[in-house]
Structure 1
Amino acid sequence: MAGGDLILETKRLTKAFNGFTAVNGVDLSVRRGAIHALIGPNGAGKTTCFNLLTKFLTPTSGQIFFDGIEITGAAPASIARRGVIRSFQISAVFPHLSPVENVLIGLQRGLGVSFRFWSSGRMLARLRARALELLDEVGLARYADAKTADLSYGHKRALEIATTLAMDPVLMLLDEPTQGMGHEDVDRVTALIKKVSAGRTILMVEHNMKIVARISDTITVLQRGEVLAEGSYAEVSADPRVKEAYMGAESESLG
């Protein structure tokens, strides 16, 4: 693996399904401490890449390295224990629990123990204090004991980020973090992603180019499962191949 500043690297990563190649020879290099966006038109292979990185899918060929160690053959649980934590495209919180209880589940998972409300009072008090800190970090402290089902969609996504942070991620993979949000929630969650990126590395799939432009350090553009372009927003938005790939309204947003 080249370069000690790389936290994640893929070499010729490929995934084929019954003769259809969804990801084809992707070389990806994610720098430590960066916000790295993975973008592309529908069907470009973005989600398949995420599934390969978190081992929900097994590569047909190629290699994956995390922090200098090859993890191509590692199990999903092993990947998570190394600190590669994924936040899903659809909000993945428990609606019948309170926000603080959701974060407590994440904290206990991070400790490698099951979520047991009858654990020692001292342990629960310590975990609850940390859960409240995380909720405060994402702006949800006042909703700590509310019913999660009653939260707005944007607040649920913020809660999902809090539960992800509870797992103490080294690398956070965010899958369409602002999908389905109104402008106010988009701005709030975008600012939140920027805030929690301090001291962490974030790889995100995001369709909103304004968000990508605002917070991404590096952008990789996929098309038909292959890397089309990579660089800063200014670099990729000036690339005529990228404009052609997006076409229509989206190409206008690429400047």
Structure 2
Amino acid sequence: MASTQPILSATGLTMEFRGFVAVKNVTLSVDEGTIHALIGPNGAGKTTVFNLLTKFLTPTRGQIVYRGADITAMKPAEVARLGLVRSFQISAVFPHLTVLDNVRIALQRPSNLATQFWRPLSALSGLDDRAMELIEAVGLRAYAHLPAVELSYGRKRALEIATTLALDPAMLLLDEPMAGMGHEDIGRISDLIRRIAQNRTVLMVEHNLNVVSDLCDRVTVLARGEILADGSYDAVSADPRVREAYMGTEHE
């Protein structure tokens, strides 16, 4: 059940690169327990906003607040430990390790095993139960002992989401999770996002507007680095400025 309290908010977010203003005065609020989409045409500033929110960039001006704490000056690892975790557009898994080993490695940090180099390899076996829970949650049980390189593209993305969930995030930020997928994989990953959002918040950058309309509670539209519209999919898709900037060309 979605609450009305924002879990993540940004106020007056601005990013300048040597005089070029990539993001200008963006104010954004993501309510806890919702699936929120950030959309817009190419060059709109979506990736820059995403990088600002997850602290891969520090804003020129503005403030970012997560669960009541000012995270504007924090580093990516610090906000990840607070429960704000992102995935990337390019799948980031170890291709020659099995699905199980990929998830076990991801579980090492929250289990405090990542820096305990003196522990025997068998210590990782204690993570198997939780790893298999995550693998099953993303629909990969049948592939647990298969090298990641042998997975289809969509299943690689599911594995990446499993490794992200290993950090037990309260909020998950997904960068174009459907990019490069066929219809079957899009359906599978959409169902997965819907399931994992039952007990966490999701913010996603996504180009596939059918996915956005089907999944998302709220949509923020960016154009030329500024917010053009914000609201339900039906509301923003009816906005003439949005249709002109983005949606009209996508649906014609």
TM range (shorter): over 0.9
C-alpha distance in 1 between matches for 2:221 and 2:205: 10
Structure 1 residue 112 displacement after superposition: 4.0
Cα offsets for 1:58-79 (capped at 9, x unmatched):
1000000000110001111111
Structure 1 residue 117 displacement after superposition: 8.8
State the Cα RMSD in Å.
Answer: 1.8
Describe the SS at the equivalent of 2:105: helix
The residue type paired with residue 187 of structure 2 is D
Equivalence for 2:40 = 40
Structure 1 residue 125 displacement after superposition: 3.0
C-alpha distance in 2 between matches for 1:72 and 1:210: 33
Structure 1 residue 123 displacement after superposition: 4.4
C-alpha distance in 2 between matches for 1:18 and 1:169: 34
Describe the SS at the equivalent of 1:178: coil
Describe the SS at the equivalent of 2:72: coil
- Which segment is superposed worse, 109-118 or 235-244? 109-118
The residue type paired with residue 170 of structure 2 is V
Equivalence for 1:62 = 62
Q: Which runs of 4+ in 1 moved over 4 A?
A: 115-118, 120-123
Count of residues in Structure 1 that have an aligned counterpart in Structure 2:
250
- Which segment is superposed worse, 122-131 or 8-17? 122-131
C-alpha distance in 1 between matches for 2:191 and 2:247: 28
Cα offsets for 1:95-130 (capped at 9, x unmatched):
011111111111112234317797457743331110
- Are 1:15 and 1:61, in contact at CA under 8 Å, matched by a contact in 2? yes
C-alpha distance in 2 between matches for 1:153 and 1:251: 26
- Are 1:190 and 1:211, in contact at CA under 8 Å, matched by a contact in 2? yes
Equivalence for 1:186 = 186
Counterpart mapping for 1:117-132 below 5 A: 119=119, 123-132=123-132
Equivalence for 2:200 = 200
- 5+ long unaligned stretches in structure 2: none
Equivalence for 1:86 = 86
- Which segment is superposed worse, 40-49 or 115-124? 115-124
Describe the SS at the equivalent of 2:203: strand
Counterpart mapping for 1:96-111 below 5 A: 96-111=96-111
User: Scaled by the length of structure 2, what TM-score is found?
Assistant: 0.95
- Are 1:243 and 1:251, in contact at CA under 8 Å, matched by a contact in 2? no
Equivalence for 2:16 = 16
- Are 2:237 and 2:247, in contact at CA under 8 Å, matched by a contact in 1? no
C-alpha distance in 2 between matches for 1:36 and 1:190: 13
Structure 1 residue 5 displacement after superposition: 1.0
Do the aligned partners of residues 46 and 99 (structure 1) sit closer, same or farther apart at CA in structure 2, a change above 3 Å counting? Answer: same
Equivalence for 2:5 = 5
C-alpha distance in 1 between matches for 2:215 and 2:47: 20
Describe the SS at the equivalent of 1:198: helix
Structure 1 residue 249 displacement after superposition: 3.3
Percent identity reads 59
Describe the SS at the equivalent of 1:90: coil
C-alpha distance in 2 between matches for 1:25 and 1:155: 37
C-alpha distance in 2 between matches for 1:115 and 1:97: 20
Cα offsets for 1:181-204 (capped at 9, x unmatched):
000001110111001111100000
- Are 2:54 and 2:84, in contact at CA under 8 Å, matched by a contact in 1? yes
The residue type paired with residue 109 of structure 2 is R
Equivalence for 1:150 = 150
C-alpha distance in 2 between matches for 1:187 and 1:155: 12
